[in-house]
Amino acid sequence: MATLAEQVQGERMARIVLSMIAEPNDLTTGYILGRHGGVATLNLVESDHDVTGLVRADVLLWRERLRARIAPDLMERVAEAEQHGFGTLIPADREWPAGLDELGDRAPYVLWTQGASSFLATELSDRVTITGARASTRYGEQITSDLAMCLADEERVVIAGGAFGIEGAAHRGVFTAAGQTIAVLATGVDRRYPAAHSELLDRIGDSGLLVSDLPTGAMPTKDRFQARNRLMAALSGAVVIPEAGPRSGSMRTVHNAHSLGRRVGAVPGPVTSVVSTGPNELIKQGLAAVVTQASDVIALLDADASEGPSVTPSWFGIGLEAGRESPGRSL
């Protein structure tokens, strides 16, 4: 029987297969893929060869993990996904966002897209991520909508995650100004989550862009939401938090942004509001610039990135790798 590496046709298909058998943000997969390419990585999944630079025990665990997900109908799933007409981007493509390469071993194997992938070909300073609390207040949603609308008027692309609360307000604000928006998903691009935002996500897929590093059919999990946050940080020149609790997943996006040297802005809010705790603390500790209007965000985007803070917000109590350790390296 032919191996996976023998069945795939080129680097793109190999990366598509990898996205179906390896979870996003798998550091061992990323390490091998970045050094050997997709076809060779599939060869290493099915062979018993050592991998230069990695401890053999870690490689064996990696193989066990990926081989368990090689179903008999895997190549049929690949063909079916291609027939749905969704786009895919790999590093060799012109529209592959250069900012993703800064993730190193945590970079996506492939990006699945629906809509205007040309939005990703813009300069990093033309894209801003707005994320925050799902249980947002009217104040937070109004500020977010106004910011997104004004940023769209300035021809900046607004990135969010399609969720309830702040992210939904960001997408809708962009549409008010007939601007450009991207939703980064923790599901396959064919899934609509949350279901109550199906109409909004359909609209983004039609006139904006849906992006995921998960294959079609993939359902959301906690780990996938955490992994998605690294993409939201890497795809933009700045991250803005209008509202978020101190343990919100949005704080993980901020953590990723700092690690990548991206600028961070936060909207100050009432000290009596739980969902203003995150932004207020970021500002208090000097980890975010104060944002009260769109011009503040534009200043962050247009500033020299080398001047931006690269500190790690220790008070979050969370790790950048979302519970994942670096692959063991041989000495």
Domain residue spans of the chain: 4-83, 98-316
Q: What is the DSSP letter of 260?
A: T
pLDDT, position 311: 47
- What does DSSP say about strands 209-212 and 111-115: parallel, antiparallel, or unpaired? antiparallel
> Which pLDDT tens digit goes with each residue over 262-284?
999 999 999 999 999 999 999 99
pLDDT, position 327: 56
pLDDT, position 7: 85
Q: Which regions in the chain score pLDDT beneath 70?
A: 1, 304-331
The DSSP H or E segment spanning 253 is helix 249-259
The runs of H, that is alpha helices, within 127-197 are 138-153, 166-176
How far is Cα 117 from Cα 87, in angstroms, rounded to an integer?
8
Which pTM value belongs to this model? 0.91
Residue 61, token pair as written in the block: 């665990």
Q: Which of 208, 219, 188 is nearest to 81 (CA)?
A: 188
Check: CB of residue 58 under 8 Å from CB of residue 107: no
Which CATH architecture describes the domain 98-316?
A: 3-Layer(aba) Sandwich (3.40)
pLDDT, position 61: 97
How far is Cα 133 from Cα 130, in angstroms, rounded to an integer?
11
- CA angle, 69 then 66 then 256, to 5°: 110
